[in-house]
A and B are shown apart, each in its own frame.
Chain A
Amino acid sequence: MPVEPGVLGSFAEPAAAARAVRALRAGGFADVRVAMPAPFPEVVAAIGKPRSLIDFITFPGAIVGLLCGIALTVGTSLAWPLVTGGKPIVSVPPFVIVIFEVTVLIGSLTNLLAMSAGTWHGGRARFFPAHQKFNADRIGVFAVGGEPARAERLLRESGAEEVGRVG
């Protein structure tokens, strides 16, 4: 699948990349994308995308875990009530421990799923022109749509090492 048409500039410095992003967005480029080896805060800030909404999947996941834990411990104990050590069939303190573990387990597994789902979109080939150096030591800024010429200029101005059109 072809990459969406746009202009790609590569930067060596997070600061420069950040500058470029800001310039492009100021220049009316709505869709500016970045690829970088590490989540450089200044760049992330420049892009200014809202915080991930993973919370709203992970947290319920944990709750589900909690409920599973309760169902498992209480339910199975009542399924065949055997008295041990004169303690009640549903003895809360020990169950809490197991419930906690189950909560953590299911919670973090949903977190994993949520993350995979979240990162899938940004990992598609057409989302960003593949270039290995962006996993290594360069930061790629990709302006989608708009006037390519303006994009190139803005990128150069903000100190891109290379600039090229894609798609």
Chain B
Amino acid sequence: MTDPSEKALGRRTFLRIAGALGVVAGCSPKAATQKVIPFLVPPDDIVPGTPLYYRTVCRECPAGCGVTARTREGRAVKLEGNPEDPIGRGALCARGQAGIQALYAPDRFKGPMRRGADGRLAPVGWDEAEDALSKALVAAREKGPGAIRMVTRPEPGSAGAFQEAFMRAVGGAAEDRLVLDPFDPAPLRAAGEALFSRTEIPVYDLTRARSIVSFGADFLETWLSPVEYARQLAEGRGRVGEDRTRLTWVSPRLSLTGYSADGWLRARAGGELAVALGLLRWLADPANGVPGLAPEARALFPRLAALDPAELSRRAGVPWAGIERLGRELALRRPSALLGPGQSSQGPDATQLAAVIMLLNVALGNLWQTVYYGLDPQEDPPSPFAEVESLVADMAAGRVQVLLVHHADPAGTLPAALRAGEALGKVPLVVSFGDRPDPTTSRAHLVLPDHHALEAWGDVTPRLGVVNLCQPAMTPLADTRAAGQVLLEVGAKLPFPAAHFPWPDFYDYTQTRAQMYAMVALGKFPDLMAIQRDALQRGGYWSYQLPARKEMPDLLRGAAERFLSLPPSPPPEGGDLDLVVFPTVLRGDGRGADLPWRREVPDTVSSLSWIPWAELSPATARRLGVATGDRVSVTTSAGRAELQAYVYPGLRDDAVALPLGGPEALAVLPPVRDGGSGAIAFRSARAAVARAGRGKPLPILEGSPYQHGREIVRTVSAAAPALRRPDLSHLMYREPEHPTHRWGMAIDLDRCTGCQACVVACFAENNVPVMGPEAASQGRYMGWIRMERYLGDEPGGELEVNLLPMLCQQCTNAPCEPVCPVYATYHTAEGLNAQVYNRCVGTRYCSNNCPYKVRTFNWRDAQFPKPLQMQLNPDVTVRSKGVMEKCTFCVQRIRYAENQARDEGRPVRDGEIVPACAQTCPAQAIAFGDLHDPGSRVSRLAGEKRGFGALEELNTRPAITYLARVREKEEP
């Protein structure tokens, strides 16, 4: 029997043929005879050479943002956020943008495989594979309970539900199916349980918060729902003065999220709890007379009074004054939101930290203002970590006969100290539904590759009232099958009646569930079919709204008290530095972190790509005799890792920081748990760091991270809200005129978080080639946008991080243009700085003369290993070696929109043209439009007092206006 998606979409198989029709840019121009193969039957919704969009869901992280997949001639070429989806609202993060590369990954499995006697995986037929599995299941069931286990990523939807059904059918208990999320915010759930008996993840609405304090929760990178929270933070930004949202970052390390903060409380690793308790103490203290404090909080003071401020500030590693300052701010600025813990602050006392933070929210009356319970769908929540451990133990003890692994990677995403890899080796039959090699599939005996999300049916419920629907945007590339489908077929082969499911195939199963959702919306539409069609076109069923304040969970009596004492400080063993591990946007928890874009695009904080690194503060580096680029060994009680050092002033002197998402950090994590929730304690170890010799040249982007007094990135404050701009009125020549449009862009640096989503989007839209680590270390990074990150004015000076997303400024007086001998670059009538690849001879003079250095040169021919070339955007030339290239403001999109407008006989509407970077920006920091149209959003922004042009004193007249970051003085 065939895959339902093929049945349902049989038509799409023709699109492959259509591919032959479109002149696909990039293939070498040959005059040799070409074949043109017509359709057998023309698909009615396809016009070759024009895009076709499908709504589906991003599965790169549990946030579950809705996406729109743009397809051309039947192949998905670009992912964009679904503007109707309440979570992402049309935005997508860097990882989401890169998701499409998993679809075309060259190393993707071509079909089912089985490990032969020689220990190698060999292709095998689906029937044979499924037979093998069913036999094994029958045999395993004889061995009694717990012999058949399943590890899966959170699947809040059909897939999960069906897995549960299947496991029941084969006689498994609920805990035999293990939901694994390495970044599971279990402490939040545990704290909710303890305080309000609500085992839930709270949902935040930061739009209303006037002050936000994050205790190491990287809510702009990976924490809970980063795209959503980045947008919410941005809504409170971009204005000077009182009503601008203030963000305070409490952590030993200034992370990317910290870059958006107005204040950084350099708490020592583990000091976050002391800070939180200190805050609570200060707020509850009647002496400080904080108005409108929740009575519950006041009641806690007697207990809190026992805490000695001096001790608190010692444990926190910050002066008491700093805590008081923050307390005062929170007292004044209501409502606020206090977030945490995140991975970097998730220690042995994570649940207590989570609870104290929640108590602070309660005390300040943030509950039901900015912090909500009752929105966690509690669909398929990650299992308690204790279960993970017991599973590993069972596997090691040989009690597990069959292990089904579904898009989880226990061997590659859990601390090495857990020895999950070894344990897997003890299981007779490991079955993986993974579609790409990873440490777990490399240990699997049977690989039954699942579809990529863009090839499959399904649904995801990330939030109560949000159901995002998966639908195939294209026919599967390889001989893969939906995991649910495989289970269904295996079930049919099993001798247990319970496993013979009523649905002919998995597609029908998803549809029956879809009907269930559709019921809700019934009435708005004549019939279910209409609802389902509509939902499929729009991408989901949404009845999402923040709950009204009535169902207030009251603090359990006496629940708070046990969180109000400082735990004994841990013995200083294992080394003289605190080990800080932190997640990054691009590496995530490590799954799919090897995708080309995710490795090529540099991390904003270190500007390093391709490799993991160890951060040390300048003072510590000096003490250890380490310079950026040297190899250092990081040793803890758990293990040792050797990486290259990056000296970073945004880190405490008593800490060393490693990025998560790779084996290095996991190797040094000791098997310590959070007391309250049992979750992994990412923050517990102390590490010894030693120099281990010189390293290879670093694949680093940054030259000097200091502005050297040049005022490149400018800032404003309430005191000085307007910028002084150079007088450029004395012109030598008349400005070239732009008869129709003058395309321009405005980038709000007060909103920009440096999340790199725009960069990856640009790679995807413009066929920007990936050149690899050597190229990166040679300064041959090809990205059309790069995140320039300045740490201050002079080395050793005050740390003031300023981001400057640097892309072609489309100057009116572009220095690059007159120096080109062959007119390969010039100024168009619409004010764009055109680069004509097929005219370029590659003198590189334009790049030399570009003050912004935004032009990238093709030092060699770019490689797009099959089938990655299928992702290439047919509307953009693939550049050959020896050619200069650069940002074009996505001219292909401009021309597309202008073309549409012509067809409909109307002028181009403002906001109709959206370059890839602007489209995906979670913070909506980028605006694009016509500067001639005074009503356009970009014109309004360009006119703001915060506006400035990069290096504008050169009179290049950039078309990009940067809106200065707002830096308020610390409030008294």
Contacts and interface: CB of A to CB of B under 8 A. Distances in A.
A and B touch in the complex (CB under 8 A): yes
B733 A86 contact: yes
B410 to A, nearest CB: 59
Nearest to B829: A83
B452 interface: no
A120 B544 CA distance: 100
A113 B472 CA distance: 77
B805 interface: no
A17 B826 CA distance: 68
A82 interface: yes
Nearest to A86: B813
Interface hub of A80, A82, A86, A87 (most chain B Cβ within 10 A): A86
A52 interface: no
A84 B818 contact: yes
Contacts of B818: 84-85, 87
B812 A86 contact: yes
Contacts of A87: 733, 818
A2 interface: no
A132 B202 CA distance: 110
Interface in A86-142: 86-88
Nearest to A77: B823
* Interface SS of A by simple majority: loop
Contacts, number: 35
B823 A85 contact: no
A71 to B, nearest CB: 19
Nearest to B826: A82
A83 B820 CA distance: 12
Contacts of B820: 84
Contacts of A80: 823
Interface string B714-743: 000000000000000000011110000000
B59 interface: no
Interface in B569-614: none
Interface residues of B, number: 17
B827 interface: yes
Interface hub of A80, A83, A84 (most chain B Cβ within 10 A): A84
A84 B733 contact: no
Contact of A84 (B735, B827, B957): B827
A82 B823 contact: yes
Nearest to B817: A84
B814 A86 contact: yes
Interface residues of A, number: 8
B886 to A, nearest CB: 15
B437 interface: no
B827 A83 contact: yes
A88 B736 CA distance: 8
B548 to A, nearest CB: 58
A77 B102 CA distance: 49
Nearest to A84: B817
B809 to A, nearest CB: 13
Contacts of A82: 823, 826-827
B735 A86 contact: yes
Interface string A54-97: 00000000000000000000000000101111111000000000
A115 to B, nearest CB: 34
B663 interface: no
A95 to B, nearest CB: 12
A98 to B, nearest CB: 12
Nearest to A81: B826
Contacts of B815: 85
A153 B52 CA distance: 109
A28 B508 CA distance: 126
Contacts of B827: 82-86
Interface string B322-348: 000000000000000000000000000
A88 B735 CA distance: 9
A84 B957 CA distance: 13
B902 to A, nearest CB: 24
Interface string B732-774: 0111100000000000000000000000000000000000000
Interface in A2-49: none
A85 B735 CA distance: 10
Interface string B189-205: 00000000000000000
Contacts of A86: 733, 735-736, 812-814, 827, 957
A88 B733 contact: yes
Nearest to B957: A86
A88 B813 CA distance: 11
Nearest to A88: B733
Interface string B515-533: 0000000000000000000
A144 to B, nearest CB: 58
Contacts of A83: 736, 817, 826-827
A84 B826 contact: yes
Interface in B798-838: 812-818, 820, 823, 825-827
Interface string B936-972: 0000000000000000000001000000000000000
A133 to B, nearest CB: 54
A145 B825 CA distance: 72
B951 to A, nearest CB: 15
A86 B812 CA distance: 6
A90 to B, nearest CB: 12
Nearest to B815: A85
Nearest to B814: A85
A82 B817 CA distance: 10
B654 to A, nearest CB: 53
Contacts of B812: 86
B832 to A, nearest CB: 11
A76 to B, nearest CB: 10
A53 B711 CA distance: 66
A85 B957 CA distance: 10
22 contacts: A82-B823, A82-B827, A83-B817, A83-B826, A83-B827, A84-B814, A84-B817, A84-B820, A84-B823, A84-B825, A84-B826, A85-B813, A85-B814, A85-B815, A86-B733, A86-B735, A86-B736, A86-B813, A86-B814, A86-B957, A87-B733, A87-B818
The 8 closest A-B pairs by CB, nearest first: A84-B817, A86-B813, A85-B818, A83-B827, A82-B826, A85-B817, A84-B818, A83-B736
Given A85-B814, A86-B827, 20 more contacts: A82-B826, A83-B817, A83-B826, A83-B827, A84-B814, A84-B817, A84-B823, A84-B826, A84-B827, A85-B815, A85-B817, A85-B827, A86-B733, A86-B735, A86-B736, A86-B812, A86-B813, A87-B733, A87-B818, A88-B733
